[in-house]
Chain A
Amino acid sequence: MELCDMPAWKLKELIRKGDISPEDILDSVFERIEEVERDLNSYITILKEEAYNQAKEIKARLQKGEDLPLGGIPIAIKDILCTKGIETTCASKILKGFYPPYDATVVERVKRAGAIIIGKTNLDEFAMGSSTENSAFGPTRNPWDRERVPGGSSGGSAAAVAAGETILALGSDTGGSVRQPAAFCGIVGLKPTYGLVSRYGLIAYASSLDQIGPMTKDVRDCALLLQVIAGKDEKDSTSLKVDLPNYLEACRHHDLSGIKIGIPREYISESLDPSVAEVMENSKRVFEKLGATVKEISLPHTEYALPTYYIIAPAEASSNLARYDGVQYGLRVKGKSLRDMYLETRTKGFGDEVKRRIMIGTYVLSAGYYDAFYLKALKVRRLVKADFDEAFKEVDYILTPTSPTPAFKLGEKIEDPILMYLSDVFTVPVNLAGICAISINGGFSKENLPIGIQLIGRALDEFGLLKIASAFETETELQGCRPFGR
């Protein structure tokens, strides 16, 4: 197996033993990028030279005996996170040429932990999409099948991790944008509890739902990266004060006896792709084998979650994206008057899906419609959250498919927004409730496409999620499969 296909924790060991250097990992990763990036288009910006410079610096820090949890490990950053002096585009024309004068808190933290930032990954423009087709820089392709999408919106990060174009990656998840692409690409993706990871420097899509999450080759790496990025940040008012557990400890226990897992009956409808249904059946058996009890539960408001999400998220987005007007930074399309400049810049700068969501969001907040749509959605949001609260009185974790289908073909859903939105039907409720969930590979379809399963936990029970995910991973050995693994 090449270095670029190995998980970070293994590479760390190799570095520690002196078997390899951070440069060796970079060599391997950039070689893979050279090989596949032209087809996959995982990256918007690749920082090769900077990466080697960072590697030198990290080596020196390691030699001084500094304890660097991510020392020398390459990481790819979704291009929605601000990186000081590095162009940050959100895959939008409107932010072309925006070089943030500051680092996002998570970027600061991974840098401090010794990770090497090797590039900024592709996404659906402003994280609005489920396929990474809505990018001003062209779509990203799924490394398992290049005719298919990698999922979205963190499709670039997912594809890069799966293809060995990076070791670790950061994504952001507003309605499933970490978990769904992780599922489509056969990697691990975690959506932390709202408030566990600082959003400072994460370019907002829907502020009350956005969370940054690790996207990794296995569960252990997920724990490793979460440890670095989680925890209170004074710069984010919605960041929680919590005593962080040692997440890596979660990857040591494999006995799940006494643990109760629920499968919501609303998630197992007939419209589920047969291969996904089969993976669910298998997964259930695996968990039972590991000692857990699995039972059916109900989340009665499931079907209302998606329309609720598609009111709340665009509403916040319409406000969050109003600042892109050509005045201060990024694209300015000149106009005879201020009004012309606003209109031209925004109309030319935003892509179709972004415009659609801005329009929807503006509409649901506008005079006369606020109560019927936005306020209604906030009320239903409470019902969706209450469903989970009820369920967690009965079970410790909830097992669902991550998405109703495996990766779909490029162009297959792009013309029908509702069809595309349905791809997030199982992930969205978690964001509405502000709780945590992880997607791991649960098996493969007949076409050899990875199929993700989602485990949902109580607020701030990331430790528990990692524990049962790790047990599942150890038992099935599915997570080791790589599209280019040799």
Chain B
Amino acid sequence: MRVTIKDVKHIMKLAYLDLKGEEEEKMLKHFSRILEYFAKLQELDTANIEPLSHVIEESTPLREDEVKKGLSQRDVLSMAPEEEGGYVKVPKIVE
């Protein structure tokens, strides 16, 4: 599978990364090399193999519905780069 600069640009858009010029070229080069390496997997016939997403075969544990103390508004705001009136502030959403 050949990767093109268009693919790289599309993926950058999905991943919110913005590489330009040389960086972008380098990414394309490494990308191609890595994907070529992945092609190795196509040698294997996996038609009847169940995908393995979790190595633990138990059911996910359940938690009782009891309120526990969390963080304070101060905790949240002290981490935030910008805040206003108890809220976390972000730049305008619509360009």
Contacts and interface: CB of A to CB of B under 8 A. Distances in A.
Q: Are A and B close enough to touch in the complex, i.e. CB under 8 Å?
A: yes
Contact of B15 (A101, A318, A335): A318
A340 B79 CA distance: 21
Nearest to B52: A382
Interface in B48-95: 49-56, 58, 60-61, 63, 71, 75-76, 78-82, 88, 90-95
Contacts of B91: 334-338, 340-341
Nearest to A381: B52
Interface in B5-37: 7-8, 10-12, 14-19, 26-27, 30-31, 33-35, 37
A377 interface: yes
Contact of B30 (A194, A326, A356, A378): A356
B80 to A, nearest CB: 6
A366 B55 contact: no
A311 interface: yes
Given A336-B91, A338-B90, A359-B11, A376 B53 contact: no
B81 A378 contact: no
B19 A234 contact: no
B26 to A, nearest CB: 8
Interface in A352-376: 352, 355-356, 358-360, 362-364, 366, 372-373, 375-376
A337 B79 contact: no
Nearest to A303: B40
Contacts of A378: 51-53
A194 B55 contact: yes
Nearest to A333: B81
B36 to A, nearest CB: 9
Contact of A379 (B33, B40, B51): B51
A474 interface: no
B40 A417 contact: no
Interface string A297-326: 000010110011011000000100010011
A303 B44 CA distance: 11
A342 B16 contact: yes
A90 to B, nearest CB: 15
A402 B30 CA distance: 26
Contacts of B38: 307, 310-311, 364, 373
A375 B37 contact: no
A98 interface: yes
Contacts of B42: 376
A433 B55 contact: yes
Contacts of B43: 304
B18 A359 contact: no
Interface residues of A, number: 67
Nearest to A327: B90
Contacts of A234: 61, 63
A327 B37 contact: no
Contact of B79 (A101, A238, A308, A339): A101
A301 B30 CA distance: 25
A271 to B, nearest CB: 16
Contacts of B7: 363
B79 A99 contact: yes
Contact of B34 (A308, A310, A332, A377): A310
B53 A362 contact: no
Contacts of A363: 7, 11, 31, 35
Contact of A307 (B26, B30, B40): B40
Nearest to B82: A332
A138 B9 CA distance: 29
Contact of A338 (B44, B58, B92): B92
A259 interface: no
Nearest to B59: A237
A97 B82 CA distance: 13
A478 interface: no
A20 interface: no
Nearest to B64: A234
A434 interface: yes
B56 A359 contact: no
A141 interface: no
A137 interface: no
A307 B56 contact: no
B93 A194 contact: no
A286 interface: no
A383 interface: yes
A397 B27 CA distance: 40
Given A308-B41, A338-B90, A379-B49, 5 more contacts: A237-B61, A358-B15, A359-B15, A380-B41, A381-B52
11 contacts: A308-B41, A326-B81, A336-B91, A338-B91, A340-B91, A343-B18, A346-B16, A346-B17, A346-B18, A358-B17, A363-B11
Interface of B: 1, 7-8, 10-12, 14-19, 26-27, 30-31, 33-35, 37-38, 40-44, 46, 49-56, 58, 60-61, 63, 71, 75-76, 78-82, 88, 90-95
Interface of A: 98-99, 101, 194-195, 208, 234, 237-238, 240, 301, 303-304, 307-308, 310-311, 318, 322, 325-332, 334-344, 346-347, 350, 352, 355-356, 358-360, 362-364, 366, 372-373, 375-383, 385, 417-418, 433-434
- The 6 A-B residue pairs with the shortest CB-CB distance, nearest first, are A434-B55, A378-B51, A332-B81, A379-B46, A382-B52, A329-B79
